[in-house]
Amino acid sequence: MTYVVTENCIRCKYTDCVEVCPVDCFHEGPNFLVIDPVECIDCSLCVAECPADAIYAADQLPPEQVHFLEINAELAQVWPVITETRLPLGEADVWVDRGEKLQYLER
């Protein structure tokens, strides 16, 4: 199994999650983070750190977020690893919990 970053991270990218990951499996894109499913050891530490509640265990994904399993696996192959928290995107607090954000995902 793996953990998965879902839609609510898009355009927020608070990055609180990356500091706790013991195996550095978060990868960073322009306005979203993903988890490498091959590296993730299912420790669940990142879940509570996310202010956007965007991280789920793969077997507990809400039905409308299941496609993020594939998105995480795909983009973890091409985006660089991120291990330190950075400032969130400028309008993170405006975009959090907006929903329907997949259209804004920058690859």
Q: Which is nearer to ligand SF4, 28 or 78 (CB)?
A: 28
What is the spatial distance between Cα 97 and Cα 8, in angstroms, rounded to a whole number? 6
Q: Whose structure tokens read 């496609």?
A: 67
Residue closer to ligand SF4, measured from CB, 12 or 71 = 12
Q: Which residues in the 1-60 window bind ligand SF4 by CB under 6 A? A: 3, 5, 9, 12-17, 20-21, 23, 25, 33, 35, 40-46, 49-50, 52, 54-55
- The residue among 42, 40, 44, 33 whose CA lies nearest residue 88 is 33
Q: What span, in angstroms and rounded, lies between the C-alpha atoms of 93 and 98?
A: 10
For ligand SF4, the binding residues (CB under 6 A) are 3, 5, 9, 12-17, 20-21, 23, 25, 33, 35, 40-46, 49-50, 52, 54-55
